[in-house]
Amino acid sequence: MYIRLVTVQVQLGKVDEAIALYSSLESEWKQHKGFLGAHLGINRSTDEGFSATIWESLEELQQTEASGWYQDVLPRFGSMLTAPPEMDIYEGAVNIENV
């Protein structure tokens, strides 16, 4: 399992718009092989946020970048952000669920 973690600084008053756009990407993510899930976290007091997308393999995560899809998605958020997003990729080490 691999995680793409993207951190952002959202413009004042644009948090709800960013949340709506993120939610609208659900069907697009689900079209990608290896996609396991996406989580958006928002700190409304600082307008900071993060996106964590989870993938079965590093290759499948990287395919979203190689296909150009990831680069196509980022500009959709451009007018809502105060700075370019910062991205890191992590190998999943522990997964604890309470299902």
Dump pLDDT digits (tens) for 26-85.
999 999 999 999 999 999 999 999 999 999 999 999 998 899 888 899 899 988 999 999
Q: Are 77 and 21 in contact (CB under 8 A)?
A: yes
Q: Are 85 and 6 in contact (CB under 8 A)?
A: yes
Sheet holding 48-55, edge to edge: 35-43, 48-55, 2-9, 86-91
Confidence (pLDDT) at 70:
85
